[in-house]
Structure 1
Amino acid sequence: MTDVLLCVGNSMMGDDGAGPLLAERFRSAPQGNWVLIDGGSAPENDVVAIRELRPDRLLLVDATEMGLNPGEIRVINPDDIAEMFMMTTHNMPLNYLVDQIKEDVGEVIFLGIQPDIVGFYYPMTAPVIAAVEHVYARLASWEGQGGFALLEPDC
């Protein structure tokens, strides 16, 4: 069974660096049997690598504007990404990435961390750092949605 941890974000943009911080923590002390891909701000460049791995599970972690309190974590249904008009600092919306890989991946879990401040050269805020640590701690024994709640889309 192959599991891929895809960390997305820009470490120069404050809380948008949640994904890269998780990648850094994982790289220094891996948890579980995840294969790490640090997608940075252009995760679409990793589509070929993901397809070649043909993972059973892909965990995509990114700072995501969800209208929650800073540092809150939610699982987002990948099919809802396009409809939810999520703020992104990436070159392409993440729903395009998901569409490109979904035939080669058993399960896609999109985990969003609510940012507080996203702007060039801002430091990452304490709630987002704590959220990254929380996700990192769960990687070793990850099951299902990792114990995180599903984001309920506004009706």
Structure 2
Amino acid sequence: MGNNVLLAVGSVLRGDDAAGPLLAKMMTDSPVEGWSVVDGGQCPEDELGVIRRQEPDIVLVFDAADMGLPPGTVRNLSAGDVATDCLISTHALPITFLLGEIESMAKRVVFLGIQPADTTFFAPLTPAVRESVKELFERISSRGDWEGYRFVGEDE
């Protein structure tokens, strides 16, 4: 299956922004062949050296993104989508910087965003987001079509 890396991004203290860390925990608790997990938390750029040393084929970046869609909706994001600032702003450096660095070290980068409902401090994960994270984990672990999510704007 290759040398793939999940880079999970988000804060466990900010409600649905914890979607990335939840996916990282699921994949750590139930490892998937061909995948390693990097929980980047709020400062994913701190993990660039770890990712570079793995010489990945694919890096899957997963983060909460305000796309104006129903909560729990997962979409592929392009560099242009990220540049329009649809991401929740909890990161130390712009996510475009992070993606540029990852593109220089991986054969392919896939960025999946999940629409949050609530990112206030100390809020729990909402059921819609939790369910979508479980679905994504199942797609990855069953070697299903985890890349088959539509791009933002394709169906809105």
Residue 50 (1) aligns with residue 51 (2): yes
Q: Which residue of 2 aligns with 1:123?
A: 124
Give the gaps of 5 or more residues in structure 1.
Answer: none
Q: Which residue of 1 aligns with 2:78?
A: 77
When normalised by structure 2's length, the TM-score is 0.91
Q: Which residue of 2 aligns with 1:13?
A: 14
Q: How far off its partner does 1:146 sit?
A: 2.3
2:104 alignment partner, SS class:
helix
Listed one character per residue, the Cα deviations across residues 97-134 of structure 1 (whole Å, up to 9, x for unaligned) are 01122111111100000000001101110000001001
Taking only the aligned residue pairs, the percentage that are identical comes to 36
Aligned partners of 2:67 and 2:77: how far apart in 1?
Answer: 10
Aligned partners of 2:25 and 2:48: how far apart in 1?
Answer: 21
Q: How far off its partner does 1:80 sit?
A: 3.5
2:19 alignment partner, SS class:
helix
Q: How far off its partner does 1:142 sit?
A: 4.6
Contact between 1:62 and 1:113, CA under 8 Å: does it hold in 2?
A: yes
Contact between 2:62 and 2:112, CA under 8 Å: does it hold in 1?
A: yes
2:37 alignment partner, SS class:
strand
Cα 1:53–1:142 change in 2 (3 A) is: farther
Contact between 1:76 and 1:112, CA under 8 Å: does it hold in 2?
A: yes
C-alpha RMSD over aligned residues:
1.5
Contact between 2:102 and 2:109, CA under 8 Å: does it hold in 1?
A: no
Aligned partners of 1:80 and 1:72: how far apart in 2?
Answer: 15
Q: Which residue of 1 aligns with 2:27?
A: 26
Q: Which moved more, 1:98-107 or 1:128-137?
A: 98-107
Cα 1:77–1:142 change in 2 (3 A) is: farther
When normalised by structure 1's length, the TM-score is 0.91
Aligned partners of 2:59 and 2:109: how far apart in 1?
Answer: 5
Point out 4+ residue stretches in structure 1 off by more than 6 angstroms.
Answer: none
Give runs of aligned pairs for residues 51-70 of structure 1, distance below 5 A.
51-70=52-71
1:149 alignment partner, SS class:
coil
Give the gaps of 5 or more residues in structure 2.
Answer: none
Q: How far off its partner does 1:18 sit?
A: 0.2
Listed one character per residue, the Cα deviations across residues 62-86 of structure 1 (whole Å, up to 9, x for unaligned) are 111111000000011134311x212
